[in-house]
Structures are given as structure tokens and as C-alpha cells.
Amino acid sequence: MTFIVRGTRGNDATTAVRLRADTAIAKARDLAVLGWHVFIDCPDGIRNYPDDFDNLFSASRDDSALPLRLPENDLGVAV
């Protein structure tokens, strides 16, 4: 999934792409603290503004196990 963080400040604009909602929210909040007007475009086409960020985080939370990046041996050690 791709989350696009967009911000404007005066005549400046910025865009950041994040793969997870929590990292997109963190980036957007960092920009907001620096005075940027921010929003996040979500994969479902919905645009989320700062007041909605907490809802975005809870709606995208997935508690399923993440795949291992490296195969493990029988002892559970990455090889």
C-alpha cells in the first residue's frame, strides 16, 4: 500500500511516499510541526487531514505476522 504525504507552506510544496500508515502519519506530523499544511492521500482514494490521522492509523492496523526477510534455520537463527 502506498500513502502519499503532501504539504504546502507559502509557495513551497512537498511530497513524500510511505508504504505504511504509521510512517506516513509520522512524516505528516513532523511537517505540520514545521508549519506545513499537510494531508495524506490513502490507497483507497481518501484524503486524510491532521484531525483524521488517528483514525487512519487505527483503520490500517494489521496485527498479522510480517514475513521474515531472511530464512531461519531450525534454531530460529537467521541464515
Report yes or no on 53 lying in a domain. yes
Q: Where in the sequence is the domain holding 28, given as residue range(s)? A: 3-60
| Total domains, the chain | 1
Give the pLDDT confidence score for residue 18 in this predicted structure.
Answer: 94
Answer whether residue 7 is part of any domain.
Answer: yes
Q: Is residue 49 in a domain?
A: yes
Say if 69 falls within a structural domain. no
Is 30 domain-assigned?
yes
pTM above 0.75?
no
Cell of 45: 482514494
CA end-to-end distance (rounded Å), the chain: 28
* Highest mean pLDDT (candidates 46-50, 54-58, 65-69): 46-50
Phi-psi region of 57 (alpha: psi -120 to 50; beta: other; left: phi over 0): alpha
Residues 16, 24: Cα–Cα separation, whole Å: 8
* In a domain? residue 54: yes
The answer to whether residue 15 is domain-embedded is yes
